[in-house]
Every structure is written in structure tokens, then in C-alpha cells.
Structure 1
């Protein structure tokens, strides 16, 4: 049997065959695809049409849903923005012209005639396409364009005919090849420090802005601890996130997520469950991208009401361009939405800071509230499908940062809730269906406004009514009221009338009036959030409970007093101590018994109400955590028990698995968490290396290297959390903990004697005579407590520091890189350099922590990485000067300088970013901005350089991280595996036979939705005993630390 194989003219990759029945249309081929079931690890014949069963509803274990063309031809997905695609096509057409020159000028002209109309069509519908390359991922090769038919579910490929050549072959069975599958084990990332960066959906899913992505997280589900996924698409910081709800009363569900970004766009995301998928949650797809704003999108308003119906969803966005835009969303199919801008409202310099939308009581007519930088709340009424500003509510003295609507319902024992008065005049009595609006401001106060039908008020003529008696007011409240009165702050309860057109025929009058003033916070109020409605005795009920969060480090739950109607602070939660700046946001969970909050440093805080119907008892829970700035470096400890990362957020964070029984069951589960924060610094952290299992060296944007040693409490806690009791053998006579003195940079060790002295001082109240660690807020016993669960943020900040045992001096500028020999004898480091005298590698003896007499000299510009070989025989350095240098260990133990230069090579065209040794030190790789990785091996030939380049791996973007796997994968001959991280965040894996290190082939790319949104700065493999499974950790500029399970078969 013969088969026609269509190959890429440029790269020679096999792209498809006539087994797929390609159809020629106007100079291009169209190839229909099918989503099929495929047994993971099963053999695939290249070029043949994989004819496994089409995707059904139920899948067996080990079976996945794949595109048959991608599977059969081992196509590799890639990405472009529009500008990048245009640049690529410009170069690609040049390559094709060179090929067709041999056929004459007519052939070159025909090339342009056939390709240019299709290229223009692709650019016009650029967002509809996915891009694939051949197996070798040649950056100059041709593309396969994936799109979907009009039904939205049938995929097909397009490829230019002129980019192909064909050949006939006999169909033979191919030999087995290594195949890769990657799954996400863990994601750690902090929340963006913006006041509307978090949203919590009705199904328990929380979405928050994390760098340029939207992170998804289930705070209430212990089985899914940590971030589950990140939605990628934005090209700048995500500022605001919101869920679109639809449904009646408690049957409302989340139908989409909206995100607004500093890239001036809004994206709509929705779940898509492919046919045959067993994943009930499905995957998320970007169903629409909105590009109308000319400034950063800062706020999103979605409809919140008792019932939200219809086929269209209404929402609003505010931007730094001085506009508010009103949008209507309509679902087109499973993958796409049609979103139309129906109105643009110019607000000028009165920028919108918060938007909330609901319906006027008893109608389906929308009302929109807008909090602005003019300190007012604007009320907009929709007439003839356009919002018109009807009122401007005054009272706040600073920017209005948060708004939230709720519909009042009477409880079983209520005849009408009075708010703010002991005299229940009808004017001050809430009626069933009244709409309440809460506003929080930087003036430290919260105001509640009421919107009611005029007919429900006893007298609409007398609209100026003073507030009721002072019953229930505390002395502090009275004092605050007096101060506000002197400063001219409005306390008026004057009602405003608005007329609303209902069904385009009837005009209904509503009153809008100030209802209550909530006093209690000592600093800016950033968010207000009504407790979600719930079922009470089989009826829909909206609790009168309001949650507020503030930069005063507290969150308060407000309720009206049952006797007086005055709103009082019923519950207060928050944080004490630590270098924090309060809360940026806080929300009730969908059942009203959880609170999720986040602060300035991106950390989450969770509380669960474990009380009963009469008493609240809010108990802290284990939250997700992560860096809030770029992760610069990460490494496993020598025993591979835990991972430590350093970041520009000036911290070192330690991650480990928590092995525990699932609540209420005997099922043993393992989830990853941040269990310690060994270093909290005053400089941006850049690099880290372990000199032994319990000691690491870190370098920051200062001239000093700092050495840290694990405290006794950490060793015990690690044993308890991971279940590995063997680590207790190293407990020894370590300090019990460490504390960072006020205004200090060095973590001071705390010993058991210090704890005893502290306890004695507390008894005698002799605080002033104690060490400075008293000022951090740590109690004497907190430093010696062994953790039984991952710590909360407050504990991480104050009680998990490691003592600093040494400082290493010598460098003249900010530190860039550090490494330690595997025998623990030497530490090598380098700093930023603009001259050769600073571009040196300095060595420190770990026995004395003294520098060697002479630094290692070879480079002329900044050394970007230093790396010892596994046997410590060699020290490799790479630099901005495009040079790598190899230093060999001197055998003489008495030699003053332990390493000497043996070779240098200017191997790349651009800066070298990373390097790595393979596990047996027989070769190393260098990664460069020139988009290549070069593999170097010892030369056996006389008269040649000691180390020679044996292979070059080309990639589509600058290579910023490279790492050899720490072992051979399970294969009859053994295979090396190499991971490469790129400047755009993608991670690729390559392999070669141990016997043929000069021949590298791609294993594939870790799925794009799992990898980084920005540059992948660091990679580190975990040495696991299972040779068919590896773990790879990565850190990126997107603030995230990610851990992947890599299965090879």
C-alpha cells in the first residue's frame, strides 16, 4: 500500500498524508479532523489516519481525547500575536521564494498570487485560528492553521499548497517512540494587589487576577487545595474579575467569567466540555475579547438580583480612558459569545472606581450605581436601552471604592426591619423587595442606601426626615458623628425621586435615600459585600449581613440590631502584626459561611463559620499562597524533600507536600503548600543554592550573600507534615527559630534559653530588657510549636524564618547568581558587572566562610549563571558576553585556589541565560537569547578543544532556562531528557538516546495552558525513584511556582 506524504518545504517535517482526504481549494489544502479516543502510550503510525473510535461519552482509564491529525503527524502547537505572525510570514515567504526561484519568475509570482489573499483572510479572523508546526518545531517552518466549521465543533486544518512537497511511500509500521504526558501537580501564585481582583462564584469557584492571568481556585474544597488553573490571554496585569450569573433565586449559576486588564481589553471566559470528556468541570475557553477601551480597564459591574433571566447578559466596564461602557453578551455556541457594546458613557476625570447593577424593585428595569473619584455615587436608570444618570448621591468624603446591591426579604419573625432608628416610622421601615446599596469609601465609612417604590412609603411628600434616636450608638460612634458634623459630612436622609420607564409605557416612581452610616474602620474601606441569599424554611431569604474589608487589617460583619435597628459590628476578623498593609478585598462564600480575603502582599486569608444558628465562630482555614512578584530562581534541597523559591517580592518561600487524611475519612491525600518563609528581606531576591540539606545561600540586590540554617522547629514540622520521620535525625542542637528585628535585615537565632527568659520576663513584665524579637509579635511558645497543618499567612510572616548564620562579602554590585558544590565545600557567586574586574566568580570555603585569595577570571560582562558539575570536578560559568567558561578542580588540597580555567568558548550570538549538566557530567547544555540550546561533550579526538558542540536545538523563542533530568528515563538503551523554558513562558522537552547524544528529538510541549504567562526564569527537576515519572518545577516572571508530573512511556 502506498501513501502520499505532504512535507514542509522548509523544515522537511511530515505534516499530513492523503489518508486524511485533503481537499484543494484556491491554492490551499483543507483537512478535516476528528476528535478521537487514544490510549496513552499507544503506538501511532506517522502519516496514517488514526482511526480510533470517535470520542464517546465514557472513557476508560488511560484514554484521552485528541485531534487525529495532530496525533498522527506529531504536530506541535505554537502561538503568535498578530504582529509576530506578520513578521513570521514575511520571513517565511522569503524562504519559499528562494525555493521557487529555480522554477523561474512566474513560479515566484504565482506564490504571492495564491498566498496573499489567504494571509489577509487569516489576519482578518486572527483570533479564530490555532497554529501548529511540524514535529521538529523548526522556527522557520510552515504552519498548519486549525479552525472550526460553522457548527463551532468540527475542527479542520488549512495549509498553503505552495509550502508543501509530496512523496510516495510504502506504509510500514514505525518503531516505538517515547511519548510524554504532562499534568499539573501544583500552582502557587499570589493575587494582584488591586481592590477588585477577586470574585467568588455560586459554585464555589474563586477567580482572581494573578499577573497577566486569571487564576482559578476552590477555597472550600480540601481535595482541590491551591490554584487549579490559570486562564491565559491578557498581555498586561489583570485588574478586575467578575462572574456572570443567570437563574432564579437560589438556582442561579455561573455562566461566564469576565476579566479586565491593563492591556485595555476585556475577556469573557466560559466552560467548555468537549464531547466524550469525563471532566465535569470542563476546561475554560476565551469566548470573546473586547477592545473598545483606550485605557486600562479598572472595574467591572455585573447584574446581582433575586432573579436574572433572559438570553442576554448585561454588564458594564469602567476604564482609565474616562468612559463606562455597557455590554450585552449572547452565547453563539459552545466556544464563542457575541458581545456588543450598546452604550458609551463619558465621565471625564471622574473615573469609575466601582460599578454595581441590579433591577428596580418589582421590575426588570436595570439600575446601575457608579462610585467615582468625585466621592459620589451616581445612579443611572435605563430608558430605551440606554443608561441615563438620574442622581448623584453625596456623603462620602473620599473615593468610593466598592458597591454592592442586595434585595431585602423579611425574615420569619420580622414585620419589617428598621435601620438606623428606634422609631419605626414607615419611612425607615424596610419593605419586602426593597433594594439596598452598600458603598465603601476611602473616607473609612460605609453607607447604606435604599431604593423603594414610592407607593410603599406612607408619605412621599415629606421627603426630609432626620435620623432617629441615638439608641445603640457607642461613645466612639457619637464622637465620630460629631467630627463628621463639624467637617460638613452629610448625614441627611432626604429621599430623591426617580422615574423609571417600565415596558416602555408605564412610568414608575422610586425613592432613593440614605439609610445607614456604618462607623468602625480606622482606615480606607476597600470592599463591601452582602452575604449571599439562602434558603430558610423553604423560602428564599436575603440575610441582612454586610462584610467590609479595610486597610486597617480588619474585616467586619455588620448587622442591624434587632432591638434598635442600628447597624453594628457583629464580628471582626483580621490579622495582627507582620509587614502587611491590611486587606484589599474580602468576600462571603456562596453559602455565607466562608470568608475569603486577600491583602497587599497577595496572600489569601480564609475563615469558616463553625458556629451554630445563634452564635458565630469564625475559624481560620488553610489558604493558598504565593509570590506577588517575579520568581527569579528555585531549587530542591539535596534530599528532594522540599522546594525553595526566591522572588523580587523579597522573600524566600518553601513548599512541601502535606500528607494527611481527608476530613472525616481514612483516605490519605497529599497536597502541596507553602510551609515556611525562611527569608523576608529588604532587597529583591535573585538567586539561591543549597550547601547541604538544611543550609542555603541566597543573593539579592545587595552586595552580601547570606547563609541560612534550618531551625529545630522547622525540622520537626517538616517531619510532621510530610510523614518522613527520618529527618528528625538531623534535629540536633539547632536554634528553635528566628526573628527579624525591627528595621533589621538579618534573622536572629532564638534558642531555648531565650524562650525561657522571655517567659520569665512576661511574668515579671520586664519587656524592655529582652531581645528585639519581642517587637515582631511572636509569643514565647509560638516559635517552638510543631505545625500539624500548613501555616496561615500571619504564622508564615513571623514564625517560620530561618536563622542567618553567615554573611559573605566581596562583591561590588548586586548579586546575580550563586551555586554550591555537592560536597558542600565551596560556594561560587557572581554579581552584575560592566567591566572585566567585576565580572569574576568568587569562591567561598564553607568551613571558614572566607573567600579564596584570587577570584576566577574569564568574562568581561555580567556572569549570569555559575554551576558545579555533580562530581564537583568542574565549575561552569556563562555570561552576558556570550561566553561560557569551564574551570577544573585542582587536585592539590593545599592549593590556595581550588579551581583553574581550562576552556572558554564564545558559542552563541546573544546573551547566555542558563546552563545545565547532565546527571553523569558527560555533557552540558547552554541556553541563549539566540533561540538555541547547544549541547557540549568531551572530545575524544586529539588536537581538538577539550569540549565540543555535538548538537544544536532550535526553539521558537529566546531560551531562558534549561535543565537536564536527573536520571535516564526507562528505556532499553536509556534516554536523556532535557527541559527548556522560553521567554514567552512555554516549556519544551527533548530526548536523546544515551548512546547517541548528538541526536535530539522533541518529546513535546507542556500544554500551553499549564505553563507561564511570562518568561520562564527557572527549571528544576525532582529526582524520583519511578523512572517512568518525573517531576519538574518551574518559576516565572508571572509570579508563579508550578510543579508538573511528567510521565514517559
Structure 2
């Protein structure tokens, strides 16, 4: 049988947003781009799914910017290719192209002359479908300006021209905005703001030198965001440009730039508001003169205002220029709210007309807010790496309702594990959370979309490892963090019903749910370390009480309200109402927990911690149920990096930083008695061994190391270990392995190999048995698939895990999950066509 035919497709990507301002951009393509560690992630707001990630950056992505953005969507109606700029913490800026026809991406170029320090903001302006200017600012104290000529066809060459570099000194700029002036001469104005609390205006031609024009004073703290409107005015005259600015002084200011006549007087026509008489500086650009005045001061937020943005223009055929600039501004603040501001029709005074945000106590503010292209949707990204989307579903009046969004970890994902039933995937991360992802059946589209359906653990330490307790009965898991304690959690009734609803859209409770589960959910403790159960009968008592007039304050911890979810939850529900209760703590290790595993019967858990001596590096065995320590296995001298039970649960394999693997025999004698013996220990690699995996059909296993090799071994007569084969060297360290059994009779398998550079390879393995172990002579290994870089991780793969699916005729459909340092959890569908 040949496994040469292997097709891999992307099923799911879960990732959170980097916690930094200017990291998100909503384009005229109606796609949202954001940085997930050093990857650029793209998601579709309509499906709430991350479509792809773009690898290439070597440092965390700080900012993204679409060409064209949603502001210029009226000019992008016929465009079939859109472009994206991304800047990272090393100062590198990359340009990407996407074809809307087939959804394919390519990296067009890396901008030469990178910044010496991290890029903090990118802003641009589109003059036509192929002409644009963009500017970038950095903590190195410079602002670089570039002209770019985009290709007419997909895959064409981009022409990039360096215009100028402006030095702003030690008080760096963190906000930029570009606009075309209203004199129709092609002049451009650049506004920048930053640490000196001032707005600096520079003017120049499209290809000429930018000259400092004036300063706008008024803010009393750092300026965090700037945005120009498109030219506004009555009828055919568009001689006014509006600039909105926000600051850490909690205020928003609107500045009015009016084209003056030849005598230097501003052409103020029509009704003149009182604010128009508060005259600011006059600046000259080319042959034109502009008067700047403070139009309005908006005060309503209670914390730093991180972003402001004009509503994108609406398209109209009655206007010569084809658009109408709405008088509407979106602001986002660290006070956990976004506001929409509009002027009152009669007085012209700007008022807050819409307020949306997180009312829960787990929110830590918004880093930015963004309009959708049509102006009927607004998106915020928060401190917890989360997205929050609201859509105006009202017909006669505005009615903003929360919508589903993608979610995921906002720090490196350290471990993943499948449920025994295969219904969900559990992941843990250095963002101190545990998350559950599952396919949710959508009757609207008659297909499954993956979503985060629960956040069982919110911890006070980075979580390093996890294992789900296998076997029958309720779902339980053990997690280990940067503390010396392993914690046991049990699924509450609300989760079990939600999971069943996600899979079948029915409320029937089957074998996975024990009828005697009396815990409905869990509450977070005041310190956030131990989650207390909410019992079913207690929840009923609570609901029967009359409404209380007591209002929660920031000092109190509100009660969670666990419910059965009938559709994928939004961030507010996930962060507070989907916790699992903690049932046990396992004490014994002397350092931070590093690795966990469970046998397939669900009776034994093995744990290890960070170590530099033999006593500390011992492996502890815990009896599931009584949670007694029933074994302490000593073999290694440094940290045990991964452990795994053989599929008949008679052997335990461990690999370590000491470059050795160990194989222990495990035998259960009584309820709380386990006998164990070290069968073999061998220095297998020249560098640290990061990963190991058993053959599901026998006592063969694979080890992967920093020495860039994968070696295959076979246990001989339960007494010794024989080296079977070494795969060809890989380009970098091997950090993750997972062995899938395909055909038991011929011992065919598929080994997934994860690398330090984020790439994943699939290797077909087969071999016959001689004298009870795999024959060296009859063993074969060949690479079946090397996943496309756009499908892989953008940094180190931390863990791989197979989930078996049903066989369909001659095609075996399997799913492979992976996690990595790029904050991503990924699920791939692997189709293997068996050919004899």
C-alpha cells in the first residue's frame, strides 16, 4: 500500500490579537488584519473565522494597514487585489497582496531601509487604484514616507519609491494620518502626534519634500490616534478638511482646516458655529493657504482614548466625487467602551449617541476601534487579546448588537490535547488561560465552524502543560503552570449541555454526562487562583430570589451565571460564565510543572517539573480518583520535556533535556498500588530531546531533538530498546511529534513532525515485525507532505496531536491539531488515499 497521495487542508485557526495599539486594520476588502505574535492573521467578520496567517516577520507584529482601508472602499469597488502593510518590533515592514478571486496571498516585498527600532504606526492614502503614499513611524525617532505604485494585475511588480525620512527627536511619534489637501494641486498633509502632546503638520507634494507647517496645541498628554476625514463641503465645494485626535488626557479634539481666499481670509460660507471663531494657526502649502481652528472638544471617556476614526464615506452617484463623508466618529478607550459621536442637527454640538463595551469585571480596556466598510459594524480589540464586534441591526433606529468573532490565545500556546470522544480540543497558554475549541454545527450553512466554546481555567501563572483524563465518564483535565502544584478541573453540567448542543443541536444528555453531576458552573475567586463550584440547587435558589438593588463595584467579584449556550459564545460569556470548578490540587514537585500525560484507561497521571538534579527530575505518578501519589520514577538528571504512555498502557516513555530517553514498565496491582521498573535508558541524541510519540499499533516510538533529527526505536521483548531508523536531517530543531496509526496489519503509520521554524511535515512509516519487534531491514519512511508555509506556524511548533475520524470508503479522513509560539491553535484535515 502506498501513502503518496496525501492532501492537507486548513480546518481552523484560533489566535488572539497582540496587545498593542495600531495592531488591527479593517480593509475595503472587508477583511480584518491583526498581529498574532510574529504572524499576520486575517479574519472574515462574516464567518467569524481566521482565514490564514502570513509568515515572514521575525519579531512581534506591531501594526497593520490595508491599501485601501475601509475609508477608501468607494474607490475599490472594481479592485480584485488588495494590499496589506505590516510592521514589526524589529523595524521591518512587509507588503502583502491578496487576490479576492481565489483568496491566495503572496509576499510582495520587504520595504528597504527598515527602522532601527520597532514600527509603531503605519498610515497611508490612496490617490487611485494603483497610486498610494504611506508613512511609518518608529521608536527610533524617525518617520519614513514612501510612494508605491501598485500593479494592475494579480502577481505584478510593485514599484516602491523612497520619498523622505523626518527626524522627530527623542519624543517619538506614535500616531500618523495622511490626507490630500483640498486645493486640487496634489499636495498632501501629514499629521503626526506622540509623546510631546502636540500635533505636528507637514505638507508636501506626492513626490516632493515634506515641509514642517505648524503645530496644534491643546492636548495635555500623549496623543494616541489621528484621522483625517475626506474633504467635506456643500454641493460641489469641498474646501474643508477635518482632523480628529485622541489623547491619554481622555479627550478627543476635532480640528477644522479651511481653504482661505487669496487675501488670507477663510472662506466661511453658510452657518458659522461658535467654535469656528476659535482660530488656530495658518499654514501655506504651495499656492494655497489654510486656516486651522478647533471645531469641537469631546469629553466622555473615563480613561485613555486609544483610537479615533471617521466613519467611512458612503457611496452616491449624485455627487461628482462619488461619496458623502458622514459626520460620525468612533472612539475606543481603556475605560472598556467604544463611543460613536455625531453633531446635533440644530446646534452642531457633538454628542455621544452610541456607547458599547464590556460591562464585565474581567475587561481591561480597548486598544483600538474600527469601522466596517459600510459603516454598519464596529470592531474593538482589547487588552486580553480579544475582539468585540457590534453590528447595527436596527431598521428605523440604531440597534447595535454583539456578533461572533474569532478568538484565541494572546501568548505562546504551550500544549494541546484532544478529548477522548474527539468532540473538542483543549489548549493551554502562557496567557494564563485554558481554552476549549470545538466544531459548532451551523444549520444556516449546513456545515461546522470551529469556535472557542469555553474557557475553563483563568489562572495567575503561565500554564505549561495539560492532560485530559481519558476513560469513561465526565470530562476532567489536569493542568500544570509556573507553580509547584498540578490542578484538577471537572466539567460542569452547563458545559456538558453546551457541548452536546454544539455537536447535535439537541439537549439530550448521553453517556458522556453523568446524571449525578451536581455542579452547574464555577466562580472566579477574588485572587483568581482557585475556582469555586456553583451547585445546581444553589443556582436554582439564586434565580428564585427577588431582584436586588445592590450594584457591583470594582471591589466585588460578581457571581458567574453558567447557562447552556445555544450558539457560540462571545467574549463576555467566555471570560466569566464558562469556568470549570477546581476539584483537587496535587502537591509534591519542587519546581514549576513542565509536562503531564495520562494513560488511555484514565487511571494514572504522570507529571514532571523543571529540574537540574536527579531527585527533582523524578516523574510522579498519581492515581486518578483518590489522587494519591503512587510512584516516583527516577532516571533523568534534567527536566523531563515530554512523557507518553504506550497504547496498551504497559510502558511509559519519557524524554529529557539530558539527551536521554527512558522506558518504564507500569503494572497496576491494586486500587492505589502501582509497580514500576526502568526497562531502558539511553542517550539517544546529541542535543536536548524535545518530543516523543508511540506507534499506536506496537511498542515502537519516535524521538525528536534539537540536533535536527528524528529517530525511531523499538522495544525488544520488554527488556531492551533497539534503534530502527533515523529520518533524514531536518532544517532546524524538531520540537513536536505525533504518530497516527493507519493500518494495523501492515503497521502503516503517519508521523507528524513539527519544527522550530514553524513548519510541519508528514512522514509515512511502515515496517514488518520479526521476533516481536519491528525489523530494521523491512522498515521504510518517506515524506508524504510538507505543509505550505501559509498553513504552518510562524514560529516554533510546541505540540502536535492527531484526532481520528471516520473512514469513508477508500479515503481516510483525519484531523491534526497543532499549537505554537505564534499564539495559534490550528486544526488540519489530512486526507490519505490508500493505493495498493
| Length-normalised TM-score, structure 1 | 0.73
Of 846, 855, 858, the residue aligned with 2:635 is: 858
Partner Cα distance (1:849, 1:266) in 2: 52
Match of 1:950 in 2: 724
Match of 2:460 in 1: 682
Match of 1:603 in 2: 386
Match of 1:281 in 2: 103
Q: Gaps spanning 5+ residues in structure 1: where? A: 1-174, 274-278, 417-429, 470-490, 502-506
Native 8 Å contact 1:737 1:751 kept in 2: yes
Alignment of 1:1005-1024 (within 5 A): 1005-1024=786-805
Partner Cα distance (1:888, 1:365) in 2: 78
Match of 2:540 in 1: 756
- Alignment of 1:357 with 2:181, yes or no, is no
Native 8 Å contact 1:715 1:728 kept in 2: no
1:724–1:765 CA distance, 2 compared to 1 (3 A): closer
Native 8 Å contact 2:258 2:266 kept in 1: no
- Alignment of 1:251 with 2:25, yes or no, is no
Native 8 Å contact 1:659 1:721 kept in 2: yes
1:773–1:261 CA distance, 2 compared to 1 (3 A): closer
Alignment of 1:869-880 (within 5 A): 869-880=646-657
Of 397, 404, 417, the residue aligned with 1:622 is: 404
Native 8 Å contact 1:466 1:493 kept in 2: no
- Alignment of 1:398 with 2:221, yes or no, is yes
- Alignment of 1:326 with 2:145, yes or no, is yes
Partner Cα distance (2:604, 2:272) in 1: 77
Native 8 Å contact 2:659 2:684 kept in 1: yes
Match of 1:105 in 2: none
Q: CA deviation at 1:177?
A: 5.4
Match of 1:965 in 2: 740
Q: CA deviation at 1:496?
A: 1.9
* Residue aligned with 1:753, SS: helix
Native 8 Å contact 1:266 1:291 kept in 2: no
Partner Cα distance (1:1005, 1:898) in 2: 42
Alignment of 1:928-1007 (within 5 A): 928-939=705-716, 946-953=720-727, 954-968=729-743, 973=746, 975-995=748-768, 998-1007=779-788
- Alignment of 1:574 with 2:374, yes or no, is no
* Residue aligned with 2:274, SS: coil
Alignment of 1:309-708 (within 5 A): 309=128, 311-331=130-150, 334-363=155-184, 364-382=186-204, 385-409=208-232, 432-455=238-261, 459-460=265-266, 468=274, 493-501=278-286, 507-535=287-315, 538-539=318-319, 540-612=323-395, 614-662=396-444, 667-692=445-470, 694-708=475-489
1:774–1:319 CA distance, 2 compared to 1 (3 A): closer
Q: CA deviation at 1:263?
A: 1.8
1:908–1:456 CA distance, 2 compared to 1 (3 A): same
Match of 2:772 in 1: none
Q: Gaps spanning 5+ residues in structure 2: where? A: 769-774
Of 520, 525, 530, the residue aligned with 1:741 is: 525
1:433–1:937 CA distance, 2 compared to 1 (3 A): same
* Residue aligned with 1:1024, SS: strand
List per-residue Cα deviations over 1:127-183 (Å, max 9, x = no partner): xxxxxxxxxxxxxxxxxxxxxxxxxxxxxxxxxxxxxxxxxxxxxxxx965222211
Q: CA deviation at 1:300?
A: 0.8
1:551–1:765 CA distance, 2 compared to 1 (3 A): closer
Moved more, 254-263 or 855-864: 254-263
Partner Cα distance (2:108, 2:743) in 1: 39
- Alignment of 1:236 with 2:63, yes or no, is no
Q: CA deviation at 1:578?
A: 3.6
Partner Cα distance (1:824, 1:583) in 2: 42
1:568–1:873 CA distance, 2 compared to 1 (3 A): same
1:452–1:992 CA distance, 2 compared to 1 (3 A): same
Alignment of 1:890-901 (within 5 A): 890=667, 892-893=669-670, 896-901=673-678
* Residue aligned with 1:715, SS: helix
1:587–1:461 CA distance, 2 compared to 1 (3 A): closer
- Alignment of 1:848 with 2:626, yes or no, is yes
Partner Cα distance (2:156, 2:613) in 1: 55
List per-residue Cα deviations over 1:73-93 (Å, max 9, x = no partner): xxxxxxxxxxxxxxxxxxxxx
Match of 1:299 in 2: 121
**Could you say which structure has the larger radius of gyration?**
1
List per-residue Cα deviations over 1:596-644 (Å, max 9, x = no partner): 11101111111110012x4110010011001000000000011111000
List per-residue Cα deviations over 1:448-488 (Å, max 9, x = no partner): 011111139995499xx99839xxxxxxxxxxxxxxxxxxx
- Alignment of 1:925 with 2:702, yes or no, is yes
Partner Cα distance (2:613, 2:72) in 1: 69
Of 821, 826, 830, the residue aligned with 1:1037 is: 821
1:326–1:765 CA distance, 2 compared to 1 (3 A): closer
* Residue aligned with 1:713, SS: helix
List per-residue Cα deviations over 1:24-62 (Å, max 9, x = no partner): xxxxxxxxxxxxxxxxxxxxxxxxxxxxxxxxxxxxxxx
List per-residue Cα deviations over 1:223-264 (Å, max 9, x = no partner): xx3110111111101111111229988233573111111121
Higher helix share: 1
Native 8 Å contact 2:261 2:267 kept in 1: no
Higher relative contact order (CA 8 A, sep 6+): 2
Q: CA deviation at 1:787?
A: 0.8
Q: CA deviation at 1:399?
A: 0.9
| Length-normalised TM-score, structure 2 | 0.91
List per-residue Cα deviations over 1:849-903 (Å, max 9, x = no partner): 1112x51111111111121112111111111111111111235337844322111
* Residue aligned with 2:229, SS: strand
- Alignment of 1:824 with 2:643, yes or no, is no
Partner Cα distance (1:467, 1:250) in 2: 30
Partner Cα distance (2:129, 2:211) in 1: 22
- Alignment of 1:836 with 2:614, yes or no, is yes
Alignment of 1:95-244 (within 5 A): 178-219=4-45, 221-222=46-47, 225-244=48-67
- How many residue pairs end up in the alignment? 803
* Residue aligned with 2:295, SS: strand
Q: CA deviation at 1:920?
A: 2.0
List per-residue Cα deviations over 1:196-235 (Å, max 9, x = no partner): 011111121111111112111111x22xx31101111111
Partner Cα distance (1:764, 1:599) in 2: 31
Q: CA deviation at 1:271?
A: 2.6
Partner Cα distance (2:329, 2:626) in 1: 60
1:603–1:764 CA distance, 2 compared to 1 (3 A): closer
Native 8 Å contact 1:179 1:1048 kept in 2: yes
1:822–1:521 CA distance, 2 compared to 1 (3 A): same
Of 672, 692, 697, the residue aligned with 1:915 is: 692
Q: CA deviation at 1:945?
A: 5.8
Partner Cα distance (2:747, 2:710) in 1: 21
Partner Cα distance (2:648, 2:417) in 1: 18
Native 8 Å contact 2:92 2:110 kept in 1: no
Partner Cα distance (2:72, 2:540) in 1: 61
Partner Cα distance (2:502, 2:290) in 1: 59
